[in-house]
Copies of this chain bind each other. A is one copy, B any other.
Amino acid sequence: MRALILAGGTGTRFWPLSRRQRPKQLLELEGDRSLLRRTRDRILPLVEPEGIWVVTTRLLADSVRRELPEVPSSQVLAEPEGRNTAPAIAWAVASMPPDVRNEAVIVLPADHRVEEPEAFRRGVAVAVEEAERKDRVLTLGITPRRPDTGYGYLELGELVDRGRNVVAVERFTEKPDVETAERFVRSGRYLWNAGIFVFRGETLLRLVDEHLPGLARGLRSLEESPDRLEELYRRLPRVSIDYGIMEQLDSIATVPLECGWSDLGTWEALAEVLEGSPGQGASRGETVTVDSRGNLLWAERGTVAVLGVENLVVVHAGDATLVVPRNRSQEVRRIVSELEREGRTDLL
């Protein structure tokens, strides 16, 4: 099998730690390996380094190559600019040699977390076998741990293969409201959509022809005039693989997984991962805490000191300091937008 790692994200949600030049996938949010490096380590028992492709943006390509020196440099593909996931994936698959495209490829974001990589790999192996044997598209589904409104959900249909726990997907539902999410979780018939897909390369290219003809034409132009990449890539339609292809398919299946998966979408999600017990808080770097509880304190350099505060995220990174309540950390983009509006590119 092969792997395609999506490493082009801009990751503003971890500002001020994440910046344009150093988005989330390049951060060492846990321990001393970046999320990208951890993603590569997670699949390494299944895929040789020569079997790994990475698609990222031109801005990040050098950093990505430094982070993954074992991956052949020519397999780190640099988009002239990000055009969402469908163009990135289709372009990368089209760039693979024909014999490679004939095999199963797992497509996975570079900035997720998996607590139990063994369980993750067992699920991937099932999906790969199913993708190759039946030439179908598989998506990894995560047994939901709470009614999270930040994730998409997969509605489960019939069991496709009891022995190997492969289940048909009836429907994709984008981020639901709280009541819907609670109903989904109670029903036991829904999984979180982890955005991790397995398919044969040729299958994906056929689905692009079928569902995204504009993208297919763009890819053919790129193939005919590789020297015009800069110009042609920027004309590809901006569309996600979920919306553009996966949600359009009649016959997609999932492998339900329990592997401590998280997309680490917010400082709050990171706090939950880092703290020893719920609400206890966590810290990184030099910190001083007096009469305070449940905070995520992050000092990239210097010292962060708090007194008498609870459930805050306090981050000092680069030349910026952020303070936000944990339960509002999903709104950090609003600060980034404000900085963009003010032209403070030095802080982005």
Most buried by B among A309, A321, A332: A321
By the criterion CB–CB under 8 Å, are A316 and B321 in contact?
Answer: yes
Q: Mark A62-105, 1 if CB is under 8 A from B, else 0.
A: 00000000000000000000000000000000000000000000
By the criterion CB–CB under 8 Å, are B323 and A303 in contact?
Answer: no
A191 in the interface, Cβ–Cβ < 8 Å?
no
Once the chains are docked, how many angstroms separate the CA of A316 from the CA of B301? 12
7 other A-B residue contacts (CB within 8 Å) besides A290-B331, A308-B324, A321-B321: A16-B305, A290-B335, A305-B339, A306-B324, A307-B328, A308-B328, A314-B321
Once the chains are docked, how many angstroms separate the CA of A325 from the CA of B306? 9
A290-313 residues with Cβ-Cβ distance < 8 A to B are 290-291, 299, 301-309, 312
**Could you write out 11 A-B pairs with CB less than 8 Å apart?**
A288-B339, A291-B331, A302-B318, A302-B319, A302-B320, A303-B321, A304-B323, A307-B322, A307-B323, A309-B325, A316-B316
Once the chains are docked, how many angstroms separate the CA of A294 from the CA of B302? 26
Once the chains are docked, how many angstroms separate the CA of A331 from the CA of B288? 14
Of all chain B residues, the one with the shortest Cβ separation from A312 is: B323
Once the chains are docked, how many angstroms separate the CA of A302 from the CA of B306? 19
Closest CB of chain B to A243's CB: distance in Å? 29
Tell me which of B291, B319, B338 contacts A290 (CB under 8 A). B338
A→B interface (CB under 8 Å): 16, 288, 290-291, 299, 301-309, 312, 314, 316, 318-325, 328, 331-332, 334-335, 338-339, 342, 344, 347
By the criterion CB–CB under 8 Å, are B323 and A314 in contact?
Answer: yes
Of all chain B residues, the one with the shortest Cβ separation from A16 is: B305
Once the chains are docked, how many angstroms separate the CA of A308 from the CA of B268? 14
Residues of chain B within 8 A of A344, CB atoms compared: 303
Residues of chain B within 8 A of A339, CB atoms compared: 288, 305
By the criterion CB–CB under 8 Å, are A335 and B302 in contact?
Answer: no
Closest CB of chain B to A287's CB: distance in Å? 9
Once the chains are docked, how many angstroms separate the CA of A321 from the CA of B347? 18
Once the chains are docked, how many angstroms separate the CA of A334 from the CA of B309? 14
Once the chains are docked, how many angstroms separate the CA of A331 from the CA of B325? 22
Once the chains are docked, how many angstroms separate the CA of A312 from the CA of B321? 14
Once the chains are docked, how many angstroms separate the CA of A319 from the CA of B317? 11
Once the chains are docked, how many angstroms separate the CA of A305 from the CA of B16? 9
By the criterion CB–CB under 8 Å, are B303 and A332 in contact?
Answer: no
Tell me which of B321, B328, B331 contacts A299 (CB under 8 A). B321
Most buried by B among A291, A301, A302, A323: A323
Residues of chain B within 8 A of A290, CB atoms compared: 331, 334-335, 338
Given contacts A307-B324, A328-B307, contact A319 B335 (CB under 8 A): no
Once the chains are docked, how many angstroms separate the CA of A306 from the CA of B323? 5
Residues of chain B within 8 A of A334, CB atoms compared: 290-291, 307
Q: Which 5 pairs between the two chains have the least Cβ-Cβ distance?
A: A302-B319, A308-B328, A307-B324, A303-B320, A306-B323
Once the chains are docked, how many angstroms separate the CA of A320 from the CA of B304? 6
Of all chain B residues, the one with the shortest Cβ separation from A320 is: B303
Closest CB of chain B to A121's CB: distance in Å? 38
By the criterion CB–CB under 8 Å, are B288 and A305 in contact?
Answer: no
Closest CB of chain B to A227's CB: distance in Å? 42
Closest CB of chain B to A97's CB: distance in Å? 47
Of all chain B residues, the one with the shortest Cβ separation from A344 is: B303
